[in-house]
Structure 1
């Protein structure tokens, strides 16, 4: 049976549409391709963006900012030595870009300028750390990415 050029075009068009439909259905239903938003309250946090910029400006006025150091026990966040640790309040949020199940938040409770994030809470890989803290009347924010 001989197929003319019009029938060939229709067959090619149907084959192409079938491939595209298969691709769309696979991508939208397979859990392997399910990527979460950065945060659940993305739009609410976007409205607070200017406040975060102000906190970053305050952080730049410090003599030294927060630093971090990896140890056998976990990750040590080291606060500036020239501030009174009893007047610090805030929280540390650890965001795992690859899986939101591992995201967690801990309150700041310091022992001699250090805050330890325990090794048992951290998996190997990339982490985004945000320290949102207040000292006296000023608010500060520290953001960094680490590979643990």
Structure 2
């Protein structure tokens, strides 16, 4: 049996469409390809954006904030002036690749250091968000780390 051009092209197009359909069904049903939104209240948070900008500016005005890996976890070093002030808030750690690993911690300073314990962090990328009040002023610090 000999195939002509028309039959060969029809078979090739049919196989290609079949391949694309298998890929679409696999991507829609496989939980390994499930990517969540960054936040569930996206539109509500968008309305408060100017307050976020002001809080981030307060953090920049405070001075340089450094992060470093230690044997016990990830330490965030604040300027010396923070140790004497009232600093309340929370630290949110977001794992872009797996929302099951996301967690929050209350801010507990040791001098001017904040320690995120090693047992809570797995290797990979983390987004750190510190939201706090410092002497009544809003404070927001964002950073991405590779642990």
TM range (shorter): 0.7 to 0.9
Deviation at 1:86, TM superposition (A): 5.1
Number of the residue aligned with 1:80: 79
Deviation at 1:13, TM superposition (A): 2.4
In structure 1, the gaps of 5 or more residues are none
Deviation at 1:136, TM superposition (A): 1.8
Alignment of 1:138 with 2:126, yes or no, is no
Deviation at 1:144, TM superposition (A): 1.1
Moved over 6 A (4+): none
When normalised by structure 2's length, the TM-score is 0.87
Deviation at 1:16, TM superposition (A): 1.9
Number of the residue aligned with 1:11: 11
Number of the residue aligned with 2:126: 127
Query: 1:1-148 residue pairs with structure 2 within 5 A?
Result: 1-62=1-62, 64-85=63-84, 87-148=86-147
CA distance in 2: counterparts of 1:85 and 1:40, whole angstroms: 36
CA distance in 1: counterparts of 2:18 and 2:60, whole angstroms: 56
In structure 2, the gaps of 5 or more residues are none
When normalised by structure 1's length, the TM-score is 0.86
Structure 2 CA distance for partners of 1:83 and 1:12, relative to 1, 3 Å: closer
After superposition, give the CA deviation of every residue in 1:84-125 in whole Å (9 maximum; x if it has no partner).
555111111111111111111111122212221111111111
Instruction: Kindly indicate whether the alpha-carbon contact (under 8 Å) linking 1:92 and 1:107 is maintained by their aligned counterparts in 2.
Output: yes
How many residues of Structure 1 are paired with residues of Structure 2 in the alignment? 147
CA distance in 2: counterparts of 1:108 and 1:3, whole angstroms: 73
